[in-house]
């Protein structure tokens, strides 16, 4: 069975969705959740599913502490699900094409430092975009610039608010993220 580590910084709805999805498969299992936020709701969500949680500080991510913990687990895939820190090159180098992220916009638009969550949804509404969506991509040394694996879009109306955009994006994330992870692990049996 393949091992997945999930990194998250906030509420953890995507992390929990992935945990639940893979608890019903033979292909993989979420074996640990890593977070940089000791108050993140993802901690309770993971513990409710008996998933071990690693809480770390930003400097531990930049040094070797987090990398060493990852190496002990030896994951097949590292999934960033609402993880807000820039992923360090020392981990990316150790796990090429084994780290993926979900972004709540259609990259390359609305990507980069500071572009996450409601910041993106507000910008999309302010710019009167007619559609938005999600992008699942590989992680490289730059924010939101790794190769795109999958995108899904959703139409917007003039009545949409940042909050309704967030709801539409959340639906796309919940539907597609676990399926794309499954497909990646299935296709890349050597991943």
Long-range CB pairs of 145-150, under 8 A, 24+ apart, other chains included:
145/108, 145/111, 146/101, 148/107, 149/100, 149/180, 149/184, 150/176, 150/180
Cα 46 from chain centre:
15
Q: Where are the alpha helices (DSSP H) in 30-161?
A: 41-48, 58-62, 65-73, 89-94, 117-126
Annotation says 103 is catalytic: yes
Q: Select which of 103, 121, 137, 176 is catalytic.
A: 103
Q: Is 88 exposed, middle or buried (0-12, 13-18, 19+ CB in 10 A)?
A: middle
Do 165 and 124 form a contact (C-beta atoms < 8 A)? yes
| Burial bucket for residue 159 (CB in 10 Å: 0-12, 13-18, 19+) | exposed
Q: Rg of the chain's alpha carbons, rounded to an integer?
A: 16
Active site residue ranges: 103
């Amino acid at each position: 069975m393949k091992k997945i580590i999930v990194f998250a910084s906030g509420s953890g709805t995507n992390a929990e969705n992935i945990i639940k999805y893979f608890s019903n498969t033979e292909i993989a299992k979420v074996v640990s959740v890593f977070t940089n936020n000791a108050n993140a709701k993802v901690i309770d969500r993971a513990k409710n599913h008996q998933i071990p949680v690693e809480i770390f500080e930003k400097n531990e991510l930049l040094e070797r502490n987090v990398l060493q913990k990852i190496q002990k687990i030896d994951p097949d895939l590292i999934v960033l699900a609402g993880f807000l820190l820039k992923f360090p090159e020392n981990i990316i180098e150790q796990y090429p094409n084994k780290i993926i992220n979900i972004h709540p916009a259609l990259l390359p638009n609305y990507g980069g430092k500071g572009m996450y969550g409601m910041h993106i949804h507000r910008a999309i509404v302010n710019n009167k975009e007619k559609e938005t969506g999600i992008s699942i991509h590989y992680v490289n040394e730059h924010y939101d610039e790794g190769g795109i694996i999958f995108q899904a879009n959703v139409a917007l109306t003039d009545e949409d608010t940042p909050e309704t955009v967030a709801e539409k994006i959340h639906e796309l994330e919940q539907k597609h993220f676990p399926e794309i992870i499954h497909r990646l692990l299935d296709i890349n049996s050597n991943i």
